[in-house]
């Protein structure tokens, strides 16, 4: 990116009047960290459980004959956990200081940003966007590991066709937990680490717009995970990640963990989205017009926008579900006037945009990085932006394609089939941008670039099976079968996770100062990719043969495809472990990388590694977009010559090379 610099130095400005300093810089937050959060969370959880236990008798039953008392107790316990954890980490210090008028001084802000602190800053309410990015990276990798482990259990059960390894309750619980853990992990895996670490630098800002909200979003996410994980100990959430009602209302109290997690995670997502979007809109460097913004930033913006708008629907659907359990309302209890279709609508109103929330940042990251490895401008930037916002627009009006077969309004299938098939147009725009950028370029075969090819393959398979599923007649056969499972794994894992791996490999040097080991990273990546094809191509076959999803045992007709799937899944597991080992090893002792390891022109490649505290010594001014690669086109020159020759009436002298 061509940049000029202006001298807007800020911290040395002597005339900034400071508010009164109360105590040492940082105040109460000096004493808050992960350990105090854990202790307070557990204490409050126990306290809430005990106190509500004194007031509930445990005899009253709700509409589904589940005792209300224990529901109230468990709910109080989880709420106590979340509130206690957030108090312990120091999340409430900010609002209270605001209320009291004790605004942060510069020294306070420096302390909060983790300046001059050791590794402890990773365990605290630290506001620096680079710290938050690393925290997100660790958390999302832990979530992916947990979800992956559950996936291995699922495939083991399905591969062992001759016996039941798990009881139905446990099996149904692990499919539900696997689903929702992976969804949460995939929502944060690009927007979290890279959106927080890279985007502010990429747009030329010194930090996010709201640094303290940034810390709040990551710690809310951390607080949200234990309720979800603990459901396995509390009877499980045995209803799939969609937790359709009223089945979920029958489930054991583990379901409350799911509901509390989604509500907490909803706040986390909304806060993170607001923060990212405000940063992108308001804090771009001088001269970075909307036509000079790197495409990755557009991807993050679009993803945040969809999450911001639609996540509350999902959150409210879980509020209602929780109140059905705890105060016995009847949103989803048909006998008392509730409707299962209400739940399905509210759920899928987020449920479908969420797919794009997951996929868009990853794909945008690929667009951003492939340019660098192909040494060619991004092909048709405007087309890419149009594609991204086309997806955002259409994502709002396609949710009913998950409900074609529910019978809630058969005539609505016609318009929603139309809108669903329309969405292939903006998606294909992004494909064209990828292909046009590859066109006649010489790829530099590093791992991130090779991952682009892998993702194109996965996207094509996922996309074309999506065409089948968007068609109501075909969906009438496919809906609820393994075909659907294979399709969305191709999109969410094949396009989403593999592009996240590429993006993390690409920005790894900037985040850690070291190269991600290309050799072992690639081996892990391609082993996982191969296993992925095996697993999910044969899962398509199982679906076509008529195997429903979420079953524990099945007709022997489906045995062969399930055996192949299970072998493939283990191969994915091995590949992912190799990749993880490469990440950990490179982080500890990889080759030291220079500030701009791949010769990129975006702003984040221009700042030193490790990135200095305020990112930029002087704020940059942007004079062009970051895609100024390319030499004159030899074919163009040749065509010019030929045209000139033809028009001059002379025979063409230049042959095709």
Partner 1 sequence: MSVTEPLSPTTGEPVSVVASRNRLGVWFIIISCTTGSLSLLISYSYLWSLNVNSAWAPPNNAWATLWPFWAIFVGEILAGLAMRWGWKGMEKGDRGRMLAGSLISSLLLIAAFVGQVAQIMTFPFGPSDGAYASVTFWFALSNAGWVLLSSFLAFGIFNRTLAGKITATNASHAGLVAMWLVWLAGVAFIGAICTTTMQESPNTNSPDFGNFQEP
Partner 2 sequence: MTIDQRPPTAEEGPEEPTNRPTPMHLFRNWLKRRYAKRLIWLTLIISAGWIAATFLAVYFMNMSGGPASAIMSEIELTMYVLAWVCAPLMGVTLAIALYSMIGGWGRVKGDKQPDQDGPGIRNNSIATIGWAVWVSALAAFLVVWGLVELANIQAFANGSVAANQQPNSQQSITVNVTGQQWVWTFAYPDQNKVTTDVLVVPINTPIYFNVTSKDVVHSFWVVEMGVKIDANPGAITNTGFTATKLGTFNIRCAELCGLHHAYMETQVKVVTQDEYNSWVRENGGVRLS
Which of partner 2, partner 1, none binds 368 (CB below 5-8 Å, type-dependent)?
A: none
379 forms part of the interface with partner 2 (CB under 8 A): yes
Please choose, from the candidates 350, 338, 469, 310, the residue with its C-alpha nearest in 3D space to the C-alpha of residue 64.
338
The window from 225-233, 332-340, 495-503, 593-601 that contacts partner 1 (CB under 8 A) reads 332-340
8 Å CB contact between 62 and 98: no
Of residues 492 through 511, those in contact with partner 1 by CB under 8 A are none
553 makes contact, choosing from partner 2, partner 1, none, with CB < 5 to 8 Å by partner type, with partner 2
Residues 238-277 that bind partner 1 (CB under 8 A): 270, 273-275, 277
Q: What is the DSSP letter of 67?
A: B
User: Does residue 647 belong to the site contacting partner 2 (CB under 8 A)?
Assistant: yes
Residue 125 interacts with which of partner 2, partner 1, none, CB < 5 to 8 Å by class:
none
Residue 277 interaction partner, one of partner 2, partner 1, none, beta carbon < 5-8 Å per kind: partner 1
Question: Per CB under 8 A, which of residues 80..139 are in contact with partner 2?
Answer: none
- Tell me: does residue 10 bind partner 1 (CB under 8 A): yes
Nearest one of 184, 6, 215 to 104, comparing CA atoms: 215
User: If binding is defined by CB under 8 A, does position 526 make contact with partner 2?
Assistant: no
What is d(CA 508, CA 486) in angstroms, rounded to the nearest whole number? 30
Q: Which residue has the tokens 């930033």?
A: 297
Q: CA-CA distance, 170 to 193, in Å (whole number)?
A: 32
The Cα-based distances of 598 to 87, 214, 427, 594 in angstroms read: 43, 29, 28, 9
Measure the CA–CA gap between 96 and 107, rounded to whole angstroms: 18
> CB 31 → partner 2: shortest distance, Å?
47
| 518 binding partner (options partner 1, partner 2, none; Cβ < 5 to 8 Å by kind) | partner 2
Among 24, 282, 382, 440, binds partner 1 (CB under 8 A): 282
Give the range of 77-85, 348-356, 440-448, 562-570 binding partner 2 by CB under 8 A.
Answer: 440-448
Whose Cβ is closer to partner 2: residue 214's or residue 565's? 565
Binder among 16, 35, 149, 637 for partner 1 (CB under 8 A): 16
The reply on whether position 656 binds partner 2 by CB under 8 A is: yes
Closer to partner 1 by CB, 399 or 488: give it: 399
Smallest distance from the beta carbon of 243 to partner 1, in angstroms? 16
| 591 Cβ contact partners less than 8 Å away, ≥ 6 residues apart | 514, 515, 517
Footprint of partner 2 on residues 27-86 (CB under 8 A)?
none
Report residue 300 as tokens. Answer: 């993050």
481 lines the binding site for partner 2 (CB under 8 A): yes
Which of 554, 563, 570, 587 touches partner 2 by CB under 8 A?
Answer: 554
Q: Are 326 and 60 in contact (CB under 8 A)?
A: no
Distances (CA, A) of 46 to 34, 56, 215, 234: 18, 15, 26, 15
DSSP letters for 497-540: IHHHHHHHHHHHHHHHSB---HHHHHHHHHHHHHHHHHHHHHHH
If one asks whether residue 635 binds partner 2 (CB under 8 A), the answer comes out as yes
Say if residues 190 and 492 touch (Cβ distance below 8 Å): no
Q: Which is nearer to partner 2, 152 or 438 (CB)?
A: 438
Region near partner 2 per CB under 8 A, out of 53-61, 121-129, 371-379, 394-402: 371-379
Q: Which is nearer to partner 1, 13 or 54 (CB)?
A: 13
Concatenated DSSP letters of 187-238? HHHHHTHHHHHHHHHHHT-SS-SSHHHHHHHHHHHHHHHHHHHHGGGGT---
Residue 656 contact among partner 1, partner 2, none, beta carbon within 5 to 8 Å by kind? partner 2
Tell which positions 461-480 bind partner 2, by CB under 8 A: 464, 467-468, 470-474, 476-477, 479-480
DSSP single-letter state for residue 627: T
The least distance separating partner 1 from the CB of residue 64, rounded to whole angstroms, comes to 12
303, 345, 413, 481: residue in contact with partner 1 (rule CB under 8 A): 345
To partner 1, the closest distance from the beta carbon of 188 in angstroms equals 17
- For 521, other C-beta atoms within 10 Å of its C-beta total 28
Minimum distance from residue 241 beta carbon to partner 2 (Å): 10
Binding of partner 1 by 65 (CB under 8 A): no
Residue 396: DSSP 8-state: T
Please name the residue ranges forming H helices in 375-423: 381-395, 413-422
Closest CA to 419 of 471, 481, 454: 471
Number of residues that bind partner 2 (CB under 8 A): 110
State the DSSP string of 121-185.
GGGS----HHHHHHHHHHHHHHHHHHHHHHHHHHHHHHH-TTS--S-HHHHHHHHHHHHHHHHHH
Binds partner 2 (CB under 8 A): choice among 16, 96, 120, 435: 435
Applying CB under 8 A, among 334, 415, 599, 628 the residue interacting with partner 1 is 334
Q: Does 393 bind partner 2 (CB under 8 A)?
A: no
Closest C-alpha to 69, from 54, 47, 80: 54
Residue 479 contact, options partner 2, partner 1, none, Cβ 5-8 Å cut-off depending on partner type: partner 2
**Listed residue (325, 347, 419) closest to 67, CA to CA:** 325
- Residue 555, interface with partner 2 (CB under 8 A)? yes
Report helix, strand or coil for 61: strand
Task: Name which of residues 74 to 103 contact partner 1 (CB under 8 A).
Answer: 95, 98-101, 103
Residue 599 to residues 126, 369, 491, 506, 561, Cα–Cα distance (Å) = 31, 11, 30, 12, 45
Residues 40, 74, 349, 372: which binds partner 1 (CB under 8 A)?
A: 349
Closer residue to partner 1 in complex, CB, 4/281: 281
How far is CA 486 from its chain centroid?
A: 19
Cα–Cα distance measured from residue 434 to residue 455, given in angstroms and rounded to the nearest whole number: 11
3-state secondary structure (DSSP) of residue 49: helix
Q: How far apart are CA 349 and CA 361, in angstroms?
A: 20
Q: Is 342 in the site for partner 2 (CB under 8 A)?
A: no
| One character per residue 211-240, x = contact with partner 1 (rule: CB under 8 A) | --x---------------------------
CB of 446 to partner 2, least distance (A): 8
Binding residues for partner 1 (CB under 8 A): 10-11, 13, 15-19, 63, 95, 98-101, 103-106, 108-109, 206-207, 209-210, 213, 270, 273-275, 277-278, 281-283, 308-313, 315-317, 319-320, 323, 327-331, 334-339, 341-342, 345-346, 349
């Amino acid at each position: 990116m061509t940049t000029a610099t202006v001298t807007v130095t800020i911290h040395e400005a002597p005339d900034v009047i400071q508010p009164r300093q109360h105590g040492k810089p940082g105040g109460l937050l000096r004493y808050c960290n992960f350990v105090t959060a854990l202790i307070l969370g557990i204490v409050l959880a126990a306290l809430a459980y005990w106190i509500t236990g004194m007031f509930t008798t445990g005899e009253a039953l709700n509409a589904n004959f589940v005792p209300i008392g224990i529901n109230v107790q468990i709910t109080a316990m989880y709420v106590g956990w979340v509130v206690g954890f957030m108090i312990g980490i120091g999340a409430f210090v900010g609002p209270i200081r605001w209320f009291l008028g004790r605004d942060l001084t510069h020294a306070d802000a420096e302390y909060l940003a983790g300046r001059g602190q050791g590794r402890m800053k990773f365990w605290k309410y630290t506001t620096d966007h680079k710290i938050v990015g690393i925290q997100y990276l660790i958390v999302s990798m832990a979530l992916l590991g947990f979800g992956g482990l559950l996936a291995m259990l699922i495939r083991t059960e399905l591969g062992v066709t001759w016996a039941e390894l798990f009881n139905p309750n446990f099996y149904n619980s692990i499919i539900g937990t696997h689903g929702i853990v992976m969804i949460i992990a995939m929502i944060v895996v690009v927007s979290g680490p890279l959106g927080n670490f890279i985007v502010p630098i990429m747009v030329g800002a010194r930090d996010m717009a709201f640094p303290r909200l940034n810390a709040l979003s990551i710690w809310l996410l951390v607080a949200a995970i234990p309720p979800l994980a603990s459901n396995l100990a509390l009877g499980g959430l045995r209803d799939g990640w969609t937790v359709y009602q009223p089945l979920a209302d029958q489930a054991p109290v583990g379901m409350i963990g799911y509901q509390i997690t989604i509500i907490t995670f909803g706040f986390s997502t909304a806060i993170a989205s607001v923060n990212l979007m405000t940063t992108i809109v308001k804090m771009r460097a001088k001269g970075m017009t909307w036509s000079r913004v790197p495409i990755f930033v557009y991807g993050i913006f679009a993803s945040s926008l969809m999450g911001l708008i639609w996540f509350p629907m999902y959150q409210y659907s879980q509020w209602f579900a929780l109140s059905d359990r705890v105060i016995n309302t009847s949103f989803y209890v048909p006998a008392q006037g509730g409707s299962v279709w209400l739940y399905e609508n509210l759920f899928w109103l987020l449920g479908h945009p969420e797919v794009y929330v997951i996929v868009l940042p990853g794909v945008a990251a690929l667009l951003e990085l492939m340019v660098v490895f192909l040494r060619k401008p991004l092909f048709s930037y405007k087309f890419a932006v149009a594609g991204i916002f086309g997806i955002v627009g259409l994502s709002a009006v396609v949710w009913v394609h998950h409900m074609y077969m529910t019978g809630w309004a058969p005539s609505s299938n016609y318009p929603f089939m139309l809108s669903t098939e329309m969405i292939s147009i903006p998606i294909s725009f992004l494909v064209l941008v990828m292909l046009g950028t590859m066109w006649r370029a010489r790829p530099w075969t590093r791992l991130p670039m090779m991952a682009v090819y892998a993702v194109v393959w996965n996207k094509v398979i996922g996309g074309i099976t999506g065409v089948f599923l968007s068609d109501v007649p075909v969906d009438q056969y496919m809906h609820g079968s393994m075909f659907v499972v294979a399709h969305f794994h191709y999109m969410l894992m094949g396009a989403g996770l593999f592009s996240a791996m590429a993006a993390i490999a690409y920005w790894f040097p900037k985040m850690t100062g070291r190269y991600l080991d290309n050799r072992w990273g690639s081996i892990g990546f391609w082993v996982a990719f191969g296993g992925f094809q095996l697993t999910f191509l044969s899962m398509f076959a199982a679906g076509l043969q008529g195997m429903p999803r979420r079953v524990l045992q099945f007709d022997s007709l489906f045995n062969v495809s399930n055996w192949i799937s299970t072998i493939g899944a283990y191969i994915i597991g091995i590949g992912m472990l190799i990749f993880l080992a490469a990440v950990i090893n490179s982080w500890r002792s990889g080759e030291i990388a220079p500030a701009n390891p791949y010769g990129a022109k975006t702003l984040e490649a221009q700042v030193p590694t490790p990135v200095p505290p305020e990112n930029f010594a002087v704020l940059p001014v942007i004079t062009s977009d970051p895609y100024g690669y390319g030499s004159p086109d030899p074919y163009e020159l040749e065509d010019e010559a030929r045209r000139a020759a033809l028009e001059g009436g002379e025979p063409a002298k230049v042959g095709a090379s």
